[in-house]
Amino acid sequence: MDSDIDSLLRQVVEAADIEVFWEKSATGESGFISSQPYSSGDGVPLMGVERLSRIPADFHRAVSTALAQIGVSVQFPFKHDKWYDHQWFEQCLVRESIDVDGELIRWYC
């Protein structure tokens, strides 16, 4: 991502206090754009099977389907090991892009 655009995006996300993260499923890389990581609580977003392991099985299909389509929002309960109970989250795939290495990057909020 262009450094000027990346910087502007970070400012907007921080001002809005929303969680935005990216992931490359092919390499397993992921990261938060936002300054406050909520989902995993440890600064790295959870992806794929690890993400689903923290969501009740009844929600797996809806979450997987929604997060594969740009603009489709899904709400689901999510639980981190350190949390007492599930917390409700809403996520949406907002953009897909290709990085300089030709890898697909998905952006979620």
Describe the strand order of the beta sheet including 87-98 as a list of residue ranges: 29-32, 21-24, 104-108, 87-98, 73-78
Residue-wise pLDDT for 16-68, tens only, equals 566 788 889 888 888 887 665 554 456 677 888 888 999 999 999 999 999 89
77: pLDDT strictly greater than 80:
yes
Instruction: Give yes or no for a contact between 18 and 32, defined as CB atoms under 8 angstroms apart.
Output: no
Quote the CA–CA distance of 60 and 79 in Å, as a whole number. 14
The third-level CATH classification (topology) of the domain covering 3-108 is Beta-Lactamase (3.30.450)
